[in-house]
Amino acid sequence: MYNNRKYVIITASEVSNVDFSKVLETSASKLRYNNDNSKTFVKYEGDQPSFLNGKTEYTYDEILIELAKDSWQ
């Protein structure tokens, strides 16, 4: 049911560039970080927000694989 969603992993330093009106997360304080707090991710439906241009998009199934890695557990 999440086929229309895209996920993008960003670095912690890039969080300040996120326009939370363009992603499904609501604020920086609600983001999920990896274990060393160096990376997080945002998700959206539809076109990729411009502030994420050039970033790798993951599908739902792909992001689940990424998040299952030890660095996120």
Residue numbers at the binding site for other proteins (CB under 8 A) = 1-2, 5, 7, 24-26, 30-32, 41, 43, 60, 63-64, 67
What Å distances lie between residue 53 and 8, 10, 17, 28, 48, CA to CA? 10, 11, 12, 19, 7
Query: Of 15 and 67, which CB lies nearer to other proteins in the complex structure?
Result: 67
Please state the closest distance from residue 2 (CB atom) to other proteins, in A: 5
Q: Which is nearer to other proteins, 51 or 66 (CB)?
A: 66
CB of 13 to other proteins, least distance (A): 19
- Letter string b/e over residues 22-33, b meaning 16 or more CB atoms within 10 A of that residue's CB: ebebeeeeebee
